[in-house]
Structures are given as structure tokens and as C-alpha cells.
Amino acid sequence: MSSNELALREDFYIKMRELKQGEVAASTECKDHESGSDSQTSVGNAEKSE
């Protein structure tokens, strides 16, 4: 893997992590913990399968 690919992958990971934190904050505000944890798990599984 080239260093450019690695940088893109790292950038993508950081963006996904920020999105996840935003989802958790939003689900906490809505008091909807179920959907927050569901979306987190599906994203986590997608990262592992790469």
C-alpha cells in the first residue's frame, strides 16, 4: 500500500470517528440510545472487514 493510500485511509477513519461521535451526541440528546449503539456497531464491523 502506498503512503498516499495510507493517508487517505487515515483521513477517512478520522472522519468516520467524528461522525460516530456526532451520532452518539445526537442520540443522547434525543434520548434514543438504541439506534445510536446500533449504528456504531455496524460501522465498527465495516471497518474490521476491510
Domain assignment present for residue 32? The answer is yes
Closest residue by Cα to residue 47 from 3, 18, 9, 21: 9
Domain assignment present for residue 47? The answer is yes
Domain membership of residue 33 as a residue range: 22-50
Is the pTM above the cut of 0.85? no
Q: What is the pLDDT of residue 24?
A: 81
Domain assignment present for residue 35? The answer is yes
How many separate domains does the chain show? 1
Query: What is the rounded (10 degree) CA torsion for 24, 25, 31, 34?
Result: -10
Confirm if 40 and 23 have CB atoms less than 8 A apart.
yes
**Digit-coded pLDDT (tens) for 1-50:** 789 999 999 999 999 999 999 888 887 776 544 555 555 555 555 555 55
